[in-house]
Amino acid sequence: MSEKILIDCGTSYTKIYYIDQNYYDVVPSREFRKWKKELRIPLATGYNTRGTGEVQVNELIALAEGGLRLIPEDSFTLLDCGARDVKYLNMKEGKIIRMDWNTECGAFAGQVIELLINYFDIDPNKLPSDSEKIPVVCAVLGMTKMFDKIAEGVPYPKAFMGFLKGIAWNCYHLVDKPELIYLSGGLCENRAFINSFPCQVRPLGRYVLLEGLKSFYENPSRLRPLEETIKQSNPL
Amino acid sequence: MIVGIVGVPCWEEMQKYVKRGDIIIDLDDAIPEISIEDSYLPKIYCSILKRVTSNAITLAQAGKLHLILADVGEGKCDGMRYIASFLRELLPIPVVEVRNANSTGWGYPICQSQLPLRKKMELIVETVSKPINPSTKLQKTIPSCGFWGVPPSDFTLLELFPPTTHIYGWTRCMENKTPANRELELQLDEEVPTVFFTQNFCQRSALAFHLAKRYQGLFVQMDHHLTKSIRAMVEAFIKFNVK
pLDDT in tens, A100-135: 987 655 555 777 788 888 888 888 788 887 888 887
Q: Render pLDDT for A123-174 as a digit per residue (tens, 0 to 9).
A: 878 888 788 888 776 777 788 888 888 899 988 888 888 888 888 888 899 8
DSSP per position, chain A? -PEEEEEEE-SSEEEEEETTTTEEEEEEHHHHTT--S-EEEEEEESTT-TT-SSEE--HHHHHHHHHHHH-SSSSEEEEEE-SS-EEEEEEETTEEEEEEEESSTTTTHHHHHHHHHHHHT--GGG--TTPPPPP-SSHHHHHHHHHHHHHTT--HHHHHHHHHHHHHHHHHHHTT--SEEEEESGGGG-HHHHHTSSSEEEE--TTHHHHHHHHHHH-GGGG--HHHHHHHS---
Residues B232, A58: C-beta atoms closer than 8 Å: yes
Q: Which residues of A touch B112 (CB under 8 A)?
A: none
Nearest residue in A to B112, CA atom: A235
Q: Cα distance from A157 to chain B (closest Cα, Å)?
A: 34
- Residue B168 φ/ψ, nearest 5 degrees: -125, -175
Of A26-30, A95-99, A126-130, B96-100, give the lowest mean pLDDT range.
A126-130
Mean model confidence pLDDT for chain A: 86
Chain A residue closest in CA terms to B163? A230
Residue, of A229 and B51, whose pLDDT is higher = B51
Q: CB distance A92–B142 less than 8 Å?
A: no
pLDDT (mean) for A192-198: 90
Other C-beta atoms closer than 10 Å to the C-beta of A73 total: 11
Q: Distance between CA atoms of A208 and A206, rounded to whole angstroms?
A: 6
Which one is predicted more confidently, A215 or A156?
Answer: A215
B161–A230: do the CB atoms touch at under 8 Å? Answer: yes
The full set of domain ranges for chain B reads: 2-98, 117-241
| Residue A230 to residue B233, Cβ atoms within 8 A | no
Say yes or no for a CB contact (<8 Å) between A94 and B242. Answer: no
Quick check: A101 and B231 CB within 8 A? no
Nearest residue, CB atoms, A101 vs list B140, B212, B229: B229
Query: Which of B164, B227, B235 is opposite residue A235, by nearest beta carbon?
Result: B164
pLDDT at B83: 96
The fraction of chain A above a pLDDT of 70, given in percent, is 92
CB contact under 8 A, A233 and B145: yes
Domains of chain A: 1-66+207-225 (3.30.420), 72-203 (3.30.420.40)
Which residue is closest to B239 within chain A, CA to CA? A226
**Set of chain B residues whose Cβ sits within 8 Å of the Cβ of A96:** 218, 236-237, 240-241
Neighbours of B134 (CB within 10 A): 6
Give residue B55's pLDDT: 96
For residue A234, the model assigns a pLDDT of 40
Class of the domain covering B2-98: alpha beta
The HSE-up count of residue B159 (CA atoms within 13 Å, CB side) is 5
Identify from A96, A234, A236 which residue to disrupt to test chain B contact, counting B C-beta atoms within 10 A and taking the largest count.
Answer: A96
Q: How far apart are CA A196 and CA A131, in angstroms?
A: 10
CB-based contact, B240 to chain A, within 8 Å: yes
> Could you give the CA distance from residue B204 to residue B200 in angstroms, rounded to a whole number?
9
For the stretch A49-87, pLDDT in tens is 877 888 999 999 999 999 999 999 999 999 998 877 889
- B110 to chain A nearest CA, in Å? 13
Q: Which residues of B touch A61 (CB under 8 A)?
A: 232, 235-236, 239-240
Residues of A contacting chain B (CB within 8 angstroms): 58-61, 64, 85, 87, 89, 91-92, 94-101, 103, 224, 226, 229-236
CB A63 within 8 A of CB A74: no
More confident residue, A101 or A91: A91
The confidence score (pLDDT) of residue A236 equals: 38
Q: What is the largest CA-CA distance in chain A?
A: 71
In whole angstroms, give the CA distance from residue B203 to residue B214.
Answer: 18
Give every residue of chain B whose pLDDT is below 70, as ranges. Answer: none
A233–chain B nearest CA distance, Å: 6
CB contact under 8 A, A99 and B236: yes
Which residue type is seen at A188? C
| Cα of A61 to nearest chain B Cα, Å | 5
Confidence at residue A231, expressed as pLDDT on a 0 to 100 scale: 54
**Of A23 and A50, which is predicted with more confidence?**
A23
> Is B159 within 8 Å of chain A by CB?
no
Q: What is the complex's ipTM, to 2 decimals? A: 0.84
Q: Between chain A and chain B, how many beta carbons pairs sit less than 8 Å apart? A: 79
- B139 vs A contacts (CB less than 8 Å): 235-236
Q: Which of B139, B216, B239 lies nearest to residue A229, judging by beta carbons?
A: B239
